[in-house]
Structure formats: structure tokens, C-alpha cells
Amino acid sequence: MRMSATEEYGLRCLLVLARQGTEGQMSVSDIAEAEGISVPYASKLLAIMRQAGLVTAVRGRKGGFRIRREPSEINLLEVITKLGGPLLDPDHCAKRTGQLEQCIHTDNCSVHDILGSLAGKIAGFLAGTTLNDLIEKERLMVLPRVGSDQSDAKQIQG
């Protein structure tokens, strides 16, 4: 019940691009360096996000990646599910069958039911947080109360 490596590193790479805005652009090697991961790994994660429509790739000498939409318009649910698949595997019941052909709890599965409810809760939370929220939060963490008091600063979650 944890965030996978793909999901986390993918999100982190996307955040690097989000900080540049939709007009900005960065090469894979710069992104990899920014996150402390290898270039091939960053490359792989960005390829997934490109195919998912989250980022655009520009090839050639002045190439690089850029984020496709405003960070305030991209929520975490979209990012996480595009990197790691849906929160509740669509053929969950076909996979968790143990040694049997079919799961023993076909018409009677409170576990599956509760997983659905849980997935809904998680989805709601993730959908309510955008990349921009994360970036804003970062700023507050780096610069705790610069200048005047910032107690009125936007709170990400309660």
C-alpha cells in the first residue's frame, strides 16, 4: 500500500518541468541531474508521460521536454494513474485468484468492495491536489516567512 518508484520518480520529473511552466523546456540530462537519477531512467519515465500526454518532447539538437498543460491544471490523480495504472486494478479479481481459476469470492467479496471505497478516497484526495499546489508548498518550505508574516499563505490541505 505504498507509492511505487515509478510513480514517485515520474512525478518528481514532472515537477521539474512544471517549475519551468508550459513555455519552459529542459533536456533529459538536466531533469535527471535535478532529481539525482540516471539519464536512461529519467528518459524512460518521461517517455511514459509523453505517451500519456502529460509532456511534449522536442527532438534534435535544441530538443528537450516541456509540460503540456499548466501545473495548476494537472492533478496528482492523473499523474499517478498514468504512471502506475488505475488505483484499483481493473482485473483485480482475475489476478488475485490464488491457485484457482476464478476467485473464490466472486459474488461475495467485501475485500474488493472495501478496496473500491478506499480507492475512491485516495482518488479524491489526489484529484484535489495539483502540481502547482506542490510547487507552492515547496516555496513555503524553502523560504519560511520571508519578509512579512505569511500566516495567510495558501494551505494545501487541512
Q: Does residue 9 interact with its own copies by CB under 8 A? A: yes
Task: Identify which of residues 39 and 140 has a Cβ nearer to DNA in the complex.
Answer: 39
Q: Does residue 51 interact with its own copies by CB under 8 A? A: no
Residues 105-134 that bind DNA (CB under 7 A): none
Q: Does residue 1 interact with its own copies by CB under 8 A? A: yes
Question: Segment contacting its own copies (CB under 8 A): 20-28, 54-62, 81-89, 145-153?
Answer: 81-89
Amino acid identity at 51:
Q
CA 66, 68, 132 angle in degrees (round to 5)? Answer: 90
* Contact status, residue 22 vs residue 68, Cβ threshold 8 Å: yes
Q: How far is 82 from 49, CA to CA, in rounded Å?
A: 7
Number of residues this chain uses to bind its own copies (CB under 8 A): 54
Residue with cell 511505487: 4
| Element holding 127 (H helix, E strand) | helix 110-127
Cell of 71: 501545473
Contacts with DNA, residue ranges (CB under 7 A): 4-6, 9, 26-29, 37-38, 40-41, 43-44, 46-47, 50, 57-65, 99
